[in-house]
Amino acid sequence: MKTASFYIKKAVELVFLAALCFCLGDSAARIGEKYPFVAVSASAEGNWGLSFQQEGKPPVANASAEYLKQFNAYYADQTEEKVIYLTFDAGYENGYTAAILDALKKHGAPATFFLVGNYLETSPELVKRMIAEGHNVGNHTYHHPDMSKISTQESFSAELKSLEDLYKQVTGQPMKKFYRPPQGKYSESNLKMARDLGYSTFFWSLAYVDWYEDKQPSKDEAFKKLLGRIHPGAVVLLHSTSKTNGEILDELLTKWEEMGYRFGALDELVY
């Protein structure tokens, strides 16, 4: 017979696990894998997190599609169609964007590049090429801060508006109202603020650790994640700073096409 101290210990363990998963940005579903009797909330705040439970199937996110939709926010297309939405986060130019654009052009694959102020300041010609070749350019904020710590509409708006202004100055066009929170950090108030500014917020349903300049994944490591976890309606997050991505993208797109996938634009999720 289990004593009261046993149940107290288990309760403390559950609280600790929940806090740990939240801090690491992991999906709350991971708790449910070990403790299936624990209820998982439809929404979460902090770090965007995913739990991949079956190859070829969409992951479980730490906020449901239904919850996000009220804020014009998305992380995947809720579809059975084999469609992939390619997105690239671009904090600075690292010499690989031209190769990425070449691969996208070869495959007729539209993408959305989420840019920060530094990229627009240092690489205006590449931004103009993105537009000329039919890609979307989205707002990744001017300074790439932790937006979940911004509590006022004025400060939140300033981060997005300053990038909009620079984009228009560089390109002569208004910026598309697509927003991606830096590092996937968000809060419900942020989602409301973005919506009220006319933005759609985009998270992702597939990514891998490709952003460390001095610790790039090998081709095999990249393919294992990006081929094994691809799924219908995937919003794929890649980083344009990645040497590996620049080298493998042409082959990666070919392999996805051979699996029966087509490439869609994020506009399809919104309209």
Ramachandran class of 184: left when φ > 0, alpha when ψ lies in -120 to 50, beta otherwise: left
Which one of the listed residues 107, 135, 231, 239 is annotated catalytic? 239
User: How many angstroms separate the Cα of 170 from the Cα of each of 101, 109, 176, 203?
Assistant: 19, 24, 14, 26
How many Å apart are CA 85 and CA 63, to the nearest integer? 19
Q: Are 112 and 88 in contact (CB under 8 A)?
A: yes
Where are any strands of DSSP class E within 166-217?
Answer: 178-179, 185-186, 200-202
Q: Both ends of the chain: CA-CA distance in Å?
A: 58
- 239 flagged as catalytic: yes
- What is the DSSP-derived secondary structure letter of residue 90? E
For residue 39, give the amino acid letter: A
Which one of the listed residues 26, 77, 89, 196 is annotated catalytic? 89
**DSSP three-state, residue 142:** coil
CA angle (62, 227, 186) in 5-degree steps: 25
Backbone angles phi, psi at 79, to 5 degrees: -145, 160
Backbone angles phi, psi at 237, to 5 degrees: -105, 120
- 220 flagged as catalytic: no
What residues act catalytically? 89, 239
